[in-house]
C-alpha cells in the first residue's frame, strides 16, 4: 500500500492568520483567547467574555473566486474561509490549482449545522439553502476546484474534523479517491451553544482550558478553520508527515449517559489501530491529547492513553493540548491539533501547555509518572506522534503521524543562477513571495516548489514577475498583467545576433547539447566544426558569414527543441533574415538537417558573391521624414516601426546622412555589414 501523506496545510486561528503566526504564538507561550471577544454583549446571561476569535470572518474576495456578490454575501463565513484556506493548502503542497481539476480528489469536512447571528446573512431568502448548508460547503469546494472524488460534510461534534481525516485516509486507501482535501471549520456567531454548555457544567466560568489542572472547570469556546491536503507519497512534492494509521469508533450505550467519555472505548480504538497498522506503542514519543480541561474528560482520556501507550515504557510519555493556548475549537479541533503536531515536527520543539499550576489528584497516570505534561519548550527529534479526539456523543478518533525528517542540502557549488517565476493576487502579495525567496536563496526545495506552482498562470493572480538568484546577486522584475491567456510566440533574429562563445554555457544542458550534436553531424562532412564555432569562436571567426548563419540557426534550433521539451509550444512565430529558416523548423516545415544545410548554403552564397561599396544604417525617422531628406542614392530597406527605419546605399552617402542626423540630435547608427550582389536567374 502506497503511504498516504500530509503534503499541504493552511488555517486561520484565534489571533493568527496562518500557521506561521500560530507557531510563533505557541512557542512564545501566548494565550490566544481574547478577554472580550465582542461577538455578543458582555456578561450575556452570566457567560464569560473570553473566547478564541479569528481576526476576520467578514471580508471575501468574490471576484477572485468567481462568486457573484449576491451569492457571496449569502455564503456561510466558514465556506468563504474554507475556499481561501483550501487554495492555500493546495499551493502549500507545491501544486498548481489547475493541475488537480477533474481529478479524483475527495473533499471531507468536519463541521456542524450553521447557527448564528442572521445579520451576517443579507440574502436570507435566495441563499439560505445554498449558502448555509453543510452539504453546500463541501459542494462549493468541489465545484470551485473541479474535484471529482467523494464530497461531504460530517458532524460528530468535537471529533468531526479528525473523523473527516480518517474517512479521507480510508477513502484513499480503499481506492475511492486518489487524494483528499480534509477540512475543519468552527465559527462562534451566537451565545446559545455556550449557554447550553453552561447548563451542562462543561463551560469554563474562567474562560480557560486548564488541561490536567486541579482547578480545571471546563473549556472556553474558540474558532479555527483548517485544511490539510492528503496525497499518496508518490504524488507528493512536499511531505510534512506520513499517516501511519488512524481510526474511529463510538462508545455505544453507557449507563452514565451519552455525553460521558469512555476510557474503555478510547483504549479499544487505540488497540485496534496499533494492531491493524503494526504500530509499536513505545514508538509514540508525544501525544497531542483532546485535552479540553473538563473534570471527567481529562481523567478518562489519560487513563486510556496510559493503559495502551505506557505499558513497559521506561520514560514518561510527553503529553499536551493546543486547547490551553487557543481554546476549544470543537468541530475543527482535531485538525487544529494535527497542525500543532506538524509544526512540532517541522521545528523540532514541543510548545508548552498553559494554565497548569498543580496536577489534579484524580489524574493518577500523571501523578504516577506515566504521563508528563509539557509545561516548557521541549526539544523533539524523532518518533511517532499521536493525536486524540472525542465528541460529546461518544465518537472517538485517533491518528498516528510519522515525521518526514528532511536533510537540508548544502548550497551547490555549481549553483550559477536560478530563474524563479512568481505571481500574486496583488502587488503586496507578490512582494511578500519575493522576500520569502530572497531570505531563502539556497532553499532548493522552496525554489523547486515555487516553480511547480507558478510555471503557468493562475487565474486572477494578475501580478507576475521573476527573480534570478545567483549567489547573492538578485535580478528581479514584476508587473501587472491585464490580460489572461496571452499567446506565446517564438521570435527568431537574423544576422547580427551572433557573439563569441554564444553556445558555450547552453551546452551544460544535456538536451541542448544532444540537439547541438545532431546539428554538428549535418555539417561535419563539409569540414565545419560547429561546436567549436559556437563555443570558441571569436570576432575573427564571426567575420565569416557562413559561421554567422550556421551558428544563429543552430542555437535557435536547439533552443526550440529545448522549449518544446519543457512543453512550451508557440502560438505563432516570427523570423527575420536567416530567422525565417528557424521559423520553418519550428513550424515543422523543414527538418533539422534541412535547416542547417539551408543556413550553410545561404552563407556560401553570400560569401562567394561579389561585394559592392554599400552598407546599412538604422535611423530614428518616420517614412515621411526619410522621404523628404534622403538623397536619391539611399533608400528605405526596412520599416522597423513607425519612427525607426533601416536605410541602405553607398557607404559614403550612408555615413554622411548618419553624421547629419547625429548633429541634429537624432538617433542614427551605421550597421557594420558587407553588402554583396547576388543575381538569381529564374
Active site residues: 158, 290, 328
Three-state SS string across 210-272, please? CCCECCCCCECEECEEEEEEEEEHHHCCCCCEEEEEEEEEECCCCCCCCCCCCHHHHHHHHHH
Distances (CA, A) of 623 to 637, 657, 666: 11, 15, 15
Quick one: cell of 221? Answer: 469556546
Distance CA 250, CA 262 (A): 9
144 closest CA partner among 185, 83, 197: 83
Query: Which residues contact residue 365 at a Cβ distance below 8 angstroms, ignoring those fewer than 6 apart?
Result: 302, 303, 305, 306, 310, 371
Residue 172 and residue 5 in contact, taking contact as beta carbons nearer than 8 Å: no
Distances (CA, A) of 619 to 29, 613, 651, 668: 70, 20, 15, 4
Instruction: Identify each DSSP E strand in 413-547 by its residue range.
Output: 418-424, 463-470, 473-480, 489-492
Query: Which residues contact residue 281 at a Cβ distance below 8 angstroms, ignoring those fewer than 6 apart?
Result: 270, 274, 308, 309, 311
Give every strand in the sheet of 473-480, ordered side by side.
Answer: 418-424, 463-470, 473-480
615 closest CA partner among 658, 648, 661: 648
Distance CA 240, CA 262 (A): 32
Distance CA 217, CA 231 (A): 40
Q: Is 15 left (phi over 0), alpha (psi -120 to 50) or beta?
A: left
Quick one: cell of 667? Answer: 538617433
Amino acid at each position: 500500500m502506497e503511504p498516504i501523506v500530509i503534503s499541504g496545510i493552511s488555517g486561520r486561528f484565534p489571533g493568527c492568520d496562518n500557521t506561521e503566526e500560530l507557531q510563533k504564538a505557541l512557542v512564545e507561550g501566548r494565550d490566544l483567547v481574547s478577554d472580550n471577544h465582542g461577538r455578543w454583549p458582555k456578561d450575556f446571561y452570566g457567560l464569560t467574555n473570553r473566547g478564541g476569535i479569528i481576526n476576520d470572518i467578514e471580508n471575501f474576495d468574490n471576484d477572485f473566486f468567481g462568486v457573484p456578490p449576491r451569492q457571496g454575501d449569502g455564503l456561510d463565513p466558514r465556506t468563504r474561509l474554507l475556499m481561501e484556506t483550501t487554495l492555500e493548502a493546495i499551493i502549500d503542497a507545491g501544486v498548481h490549482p489547475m493541475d488537480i481539476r477533474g481529478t479524483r480528489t475527495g473533499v471531507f469536512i468536519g463541521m456542524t449545522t450553521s447557527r448564528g447571528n442572521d445579520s451576517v446573512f443579507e440574502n436570507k431568502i435566495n441563499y439560505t439553502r445554498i449558502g448555509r448548508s453543510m452539504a453546500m460547503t463541501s459542494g462549493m469546494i468541489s465545484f470551485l476546484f473541479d474535484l471529482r472524488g467523494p464530497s461531504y460534510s460530517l458532524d460528530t461534534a468535537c471529533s468531526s474534523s479528525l473523523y473527516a481525516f480518517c474517512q479521507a485516509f480510508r477513502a484513499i486507501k480503499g481506492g475511492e479517491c486518489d487524494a483528499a482535501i480534509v477540512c475543519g471549520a468552527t465559527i462562534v456567531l451566537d451565545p446559545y451553544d455556550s449557554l447550553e454548555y453552561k447548563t451542562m457544567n462543561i463551560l469554563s466560568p474562567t474562560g480557560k482550558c486548564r488541561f490536567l489542572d486541579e482547578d480545571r472547570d471546563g473549556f472556553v469556546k474558540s474558532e479555527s478553520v483548517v485544511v490539510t491536503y492528503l496525497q499518496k507519497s508518490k504524488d507528493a512534492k512536499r511531505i510534512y508527515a506520513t499517516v501511519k494509521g488512524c481510526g474511529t469508533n463510538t462508545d455505544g450505550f453507557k449507563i452514565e449517559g451519552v455525553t460521558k467519555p469512555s476510557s474503555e472505548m478510547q483504549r479499544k480504538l487505540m488497540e485496534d489501530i496499533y494492531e491493524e497498522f503494526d504500530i509499536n506503542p513505545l514508538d509514540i514519543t508525544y501525544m497531542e491529547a483532546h485535552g479540553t480541561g473538563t473534570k471527567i474528560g481529562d481523567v478518562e482520556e489519560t487513563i486510556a492513553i496510559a493503559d495502551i501507550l505506557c505499558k513497559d515504557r521506561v520514560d514518561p510519555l510527553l503529553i499536551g493540548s493546543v486547547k490551553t493556548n487557543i481554546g476549544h475549537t470543537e468541530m475543527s479541533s482535531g485538525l487544529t491539533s494535527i497542525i500543532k503536531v506538524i509544526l512540532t515536527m517541522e521545528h523540532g520543539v514541543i510548545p508548552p501547555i498553559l494554565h497548569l499550576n498543580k496536577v489534579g489528584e484524580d489524574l493518577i497516570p500523571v501523578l504516577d509518572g506515566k504521563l508528563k505534561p509539557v509545561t516548557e519548550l521541549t526539544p523533539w527529534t524523532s518518533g511517532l506522534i499521536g493525536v486524540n479526539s472525542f465528541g460529546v456523543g461518544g465518537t472517538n478518533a485517533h491518528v498516528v503521524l510519522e515525521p518526514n525528517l528532511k536533510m537540508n542540502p548544502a548550497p551547490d557549488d555549481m549553483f550559477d543562477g536560478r530563474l524563479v517565476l512568481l505571481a500574486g493576487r496583488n502587488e503586496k502579495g507578490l512582494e511578500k513571495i519575493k522576500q520569502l525567496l530572497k531570505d531563502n536563496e539556497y532553499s532548493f526545495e522552496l525554489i523547486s516548489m515555487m516553480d511547480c506552482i507558478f510555471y503557468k498562470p493562475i487565474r486572477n493572480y494578475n501580478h507576475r514577475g521573476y527573480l534570478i538568484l545567483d549567489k547573492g546577486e538578485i535580478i528581479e522584475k514584476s508587473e501587472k498583467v491585464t490580460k489572461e491567456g496571452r499567446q506565446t510566440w517564438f521570435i527568431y533574429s537574423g544576422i547580427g545576433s551572433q557573439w563569441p562563445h554564444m553556445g558555450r554555457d547552453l551546452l551544460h544542458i544535456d538536451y541542448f547539447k544532444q540537439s547541438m550534436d545532431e546539428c554538428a553531424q549535418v555539417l561535419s562532412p563539409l569540414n565545419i566544426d560547429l561546436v567549436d564555432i559556437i563555443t570558441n569562436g571569436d570576432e575573427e571567426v564571426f567575420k565569416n558569414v557562413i559561421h554567422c548563419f550556421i551558428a544563429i540557426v543552430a542555437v535557435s534550433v536547439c533552443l526550440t527543441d529545448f522549449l518544446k521539451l519543457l512543453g512550451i509550444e508557440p502560438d505563432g512565430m516570427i523570423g527575420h533574415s536567416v530567422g525565417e529558416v528557424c521559423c520553418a523548423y519550428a513550424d515543422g516545415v523543414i527538418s533539422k538537417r534541412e535547416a542547417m544545410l539551408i543556413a550553410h548554403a545561404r552563407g556560401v552564397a553570400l560569401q562567394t558573391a561579389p561585394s559592392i561599396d554599400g552598407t546599412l544604417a538604422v535611423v530614428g525617422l518616420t517614412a515621411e521624414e526619410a522621404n523628404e531628406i534622403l538623397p536619391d542614392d539611399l533608400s528605405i530597406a526596412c520599416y522597423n516601426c513607425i519612427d525607426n527605419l533601416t536605410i541602405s546605399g553607398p557607404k559614403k552617402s550612408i555615413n554622411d546622412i548618419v553624421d547629419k542626423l547625429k548633429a541634429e540630435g537624432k538617433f542614427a547608427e551605421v550597421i557594420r555589414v558587407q553588402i554583396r550582389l547576388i543575381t538569381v536567374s529564374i
